[in-house]
Structure 1
């Protein structure tokens, strides 16, 4: 029984080693789909027109991050900014959300 299981795992390992160079891209999932899609579009637009998010996005790309990874980071940054604005009952103030160097 033990040798049977060991042979099975050996066979699986050989199959996996033959395709180890093949990798897929991860998808963005989890949470509420409507909120996620709205944040995605907002982050996409913000990377072009909002100076705070745009410099953050460009800095991440310069650091070697993939575009999707940088965009998801911008989504998270937008979400935290919006959360803070709601918590403090404030409106957008560009001087408050300064551009980091």
Structure 2
């Protein structure tokens, strides 16, 4: 990473396939999004680091899809995966991002 201060890292962005807004699980041999965020927090030393997942959303006929961005942090990522509930959508209507 060259001359880069890891503490400056605030998050990471991953793209997923259409309709896939949940973080992926994995294991030590094949890490997923959950392990990625854990490693990012450890590497940066920033416990507030976040993971943003970008995926085109889907809807009924006539729905105009767009690239939806969902946010996760260390305290929400596993719960989102376990409950099959995507994290909050970031900036869906051009409004300020939530304080998550």
Give TM-score scaled by structure 2 length.
0.25
Indicate the structure with greater helix content. 1
Larger Rg: 1
Indicate the structure with greater strand content. 2
